Structure 1
Amino acid sequence: MDIQFVRIDDRLIHGQVATVWVKKFNIERILVVSEEVTKNPVRKIMLEQAAPPGVFVNVIPPSKLVDIYFDPLFISTKVMLLFTNPHELVSVVKQGVVFPSVNIGGMSFATGKKMLTNAVAVNQADLEAFEYLATKGIELEVRKVFSDSKQQLMDLISKKKLF
């Protein structure tokens, strides 16, 4: 599998993803990797229909990503991985899925979370997941849109001292 781009964005496929990021990386297939979304048939259908022309979308659980990551059938497919949270990223990394960087585009505020940027809210469990990914040498960069300047997530975390 030729993973071109990995993004955490709890909105998943929306205007920026469908028009800018897909074109920037010449994506052929978007894999939405989420246990929760696979269990929501309406959301799954909406995401599959939100794909830009010529781009296929599949909604799969993390375990399925691990299975197909090693499948020779997908070796040359240019893929974008979309996650809703860092925890499912950790689960696939622990099972051997490799990628050099993760773009954190949007993590909504919820009870128990604190705002890291205007688009990214985290809790203690999120911070622990990001720390794990950083120890694996994965670049963690925050950019809501492609034209934004990259901000290194771990630098933002250390400056904010959230928890």
Structure 2
Amino acid sequence: MDIRLIRIDDRLIHGQVATTWSKSTGISRIIVVSDEVARNPLQKVLLTQAAPPEVKSHVVSIAKLNDIAQHPLMDGVKVMLLFTDPKDVMRVYQNGLDFDSVNIGGMKYTEGKQMVTHFVSVDQEDIEAFKYLDDRGIDLEIRKVPGDRSQKMMDVLRKGDFL
């Protein structure tokens, strides 16, 4: 599996993902990685239909991703992995998936979270997951679309006094 982009975006597959990110990364497959979404048949169907016609999409659990990543049929397949939160990205890393960067595209505000940018909100568990990934040398960039200026998540958290 050729991972072209790992993205956290709680909206998952939507216009920006389906158009700009898939084109800029040259992917042929989007894999939504979420235990919660994988258990929801309706959400799975809607997400697989939201991808552009030339891009296949799947929804898998965190455990299933490990099986898929090692499968010979995935050799050389250019993929984007989509997550709803950094905790799941951390779990995938802990399960042995190797990657060196994560794009943070959108984490909506909910009760108990604090805004760090106008489109990213975090709670303490999110911050701990980002710290874990950062401690392992993984680049954490905030960027909604490819043409936007990239911000380093850890710099934003430090500047906002979240660390």
TM bucket (normalised to shorter chain) is over 0.9
Which residue does the alignment assign to 1:146?
A: 146
1:28-70 CA distance string (max 9 Å, x none): 1100000111111111101000110111100000101111112
Displacement, 1:99? 1.3
Q: Counterparts in 2 of 1:30-45, with a 5 A limit?
A: 30-45=30-45
- Provide the secondary structure at the position in 1 that maps to 2:3: strand
Q: Which runs of 5+ in 1 are unaligned?
A: none
- Structure 2 CA distance, aligned partners of 1:44 and 1:68? 17
1:59-101 CA distance string (max 9 Å, x none): 0001011111122221110000000001111111011101111
> Between the two proteins, what is the percent identity of the paired residues?
53
Q: Segments of 4+ in structure 1 off by > 6 A? A: none
Q: Which runs of 5+ in 2 are unaligned?
A: none
Q: Counterparts in 2 of 1:4-153, with a 5 A limit?
A: 4-153=4-153
Question: Structure 1-normalised TM-score?
Answer: 0.97
- Structure 2 CA distance, aligned partners of 1:149 and 1:95? 31
Displacement, 1:162? 3.0
Does the CA-based 8 Å contact 1:114-1:162 persist in structure 2? no
Displacement, 1:161? 1.0
Question: Structure 2-normalised TM-score?
Answer: 0.97
- Provide the secondary structure at the position in 2 that maps to 1:104: strand
- Structure 2 CA distance, aligned partners of 1:75 and 1:4? 13
- Structure 2 CA distance, aligned partners of 1:73 and 1:37? 24
Q: CA RMSD in A?
A: 0.9
Q: How many correspondences in the alignment?
A: 163
